[in-house]
């Protein structure tokens, strides 16, 4: 995973340093508007939202609480890397450089000088990393791992499709998300408190709170509202299943 992060960082530097950002951004943004279903970029980009990420990790909570623990450990580091990167780079977003009428924007128009790195890319690659390291595929070989990385790459690309980020922002965010995920997995292995029954109960309650926040919140992408509700329902269902399992186990203890 660290090799992949290094390759993403190298690619981000190439895009930012050679002038490829603008033509690739315009080409991918236009192609998505022409050939993809209208709501698909918003659906994909929603998967990089922090609350949506918790819902995705919650699906593994009943069987693999360590994955959610790793994600929760990684999240502060991912947030710190995002904040520091945006502060230091102060890179303008596409709408701050280009005429907004010259490309396609979905959701809210973002025009600040905080483009690098993409926070959504950090989040989704953080999720892909902790799942890959904490819940490794067995009989299916490496296919699930490749599928997760491909999905994360699509989510990163969706930030270009919706007009919010340059390619270098998404690539840099992917690298930082992998680094945060590796650190979160290492911390979860170092402190294995998630093996205790109370930890799963606490995680489930956190997931329920995040599910409520996701339903009530505005992600900025109204086209993805059905997926927003579906993810909240799936996460809440996984949390309730975990609480039921812990309650049943507590009743069976002597």
What mean pLDDT is predicted for residues 103-130?
A: 95
Per-residue confidence band for 142, with pLDDT thresholds at 50, 70 and 90 = low
**Unique residue bearing structure tokens 């680094």:** 179
Name the nearest CA neighbour of 101 among 8, 208, 26.
26
With a pLDDT cut of 90, the percent of the chain lying above it is: 81
Cα separation, 23 vs 37, whole angstroms: 22
- Would you state the pLDDT for residue 38? 95
Q: What is the domain count for the chain? A: 1
CB 105 within 8 A of CB 159: no
Radius of gyration of the chain (CA): 19
Name the nearest CA neighbour of 70 among 201, 231, 192, 174.
192
**Unique residue bearing structure tokens 């292995």:** 189
Per-residue confidence band for 254, with pLDDT thresholds at 50, 70 and 90 = low
CB 237 within 8 A of CB 60: no
* Model confidence pTM above 0.85: yes
Per-residue confidence band for 134, with pLDDT thresholds at 50, 70 and 90 = confident
Task: Give just the sign of the alpha carbon dihedral 117, 37, 106, 218.
Answer: negative
Give me the half-sphere count of Cα atoms (radius 13 Å) on the Cβ side of residue 190: 7
- Would you state the pLDDT for residue 35? 97
- Whether 20 shows a pLDDT value over 70: the answer reads yes
CATH of the domain at 55: 1.20.144
Which letter, b or e, does each residue of 212-251 get, where b requires 16 or more Cβ atoms within 10 Å of its Cβ?
Answer: eebeeeebbbebbeebbeebbeebbbbbebbbebbeeeee
CB 185 within 8 A of CB 127: no
- Whether 143 shows a pLDDT value over 60: the answer reads yes
- Whether 112 shows a pLDDT value over 80: the answer reads yes
What mean pLDDT is predicted for residues 129-134?
A: 90
- Would you state the pLDDT for residue 135? 78
User: How far is C-alpha 165 from the geometric centre of its chain's CA atoms?
Assistant: 15
Q: Which domain holds residue 100?
A: 2-252
Cα separation, 2 vs 125, whole angstroms: 12
Cα separation, 94 vs 104, whole angstroms: 11
């Amino acid at each position: 995973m660290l090799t992949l992060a290094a390759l993403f960082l190298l690619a981000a530097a190439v895009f930012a340093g050679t002038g490829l950002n603008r033509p690739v951004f315009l080409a991918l943004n236009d192609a998505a508007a022409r050939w993809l279903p209208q709501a698909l970029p918003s659906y994909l980009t929603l998967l990089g939202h922090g609350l949506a990420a918790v819902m995705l990790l919650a699906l593994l909570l009943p069987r693999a609480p360590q994955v959610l623990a790793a994600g929760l450990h990684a999240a502060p580091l991912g947030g710190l890397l995002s904040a520091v990167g945006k502060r230091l780079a102060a890179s303008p977003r596409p709408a701050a450089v280009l005429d907004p009428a010259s490309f396609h924007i979905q959701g809210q128009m973002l025009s600040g000088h905080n483009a690098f790195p993409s926070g959504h890319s950090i989040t989704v690659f953080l999720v892909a990393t902790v799942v890959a390291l904490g819940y490794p595929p067995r009989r299916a070989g490496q296919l699930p791992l490749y599928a997760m990385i491909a999905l994360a790459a699509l989510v990163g690309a969706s930030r270009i499709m919706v007009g919010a980020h340059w390619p270098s922002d998404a690539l840099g965010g992917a690298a930082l998300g992998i680094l945060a995920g590796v650190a979160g997995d290492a911390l979860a292995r170092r402190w294995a408190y998630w093996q205790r029954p109370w930890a799963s109960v606490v995680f489930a309650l956190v997931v329920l709170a995040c599910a409520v926040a996701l339903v009530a919140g505005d992600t900025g992408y109204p086209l993805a509202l059905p997926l927003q509700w579906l993810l909240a329902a799936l996460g809440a269902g996984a949390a309730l299943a975990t609480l039921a399992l812990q309650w049943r186990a507590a009743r069976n203890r002597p």
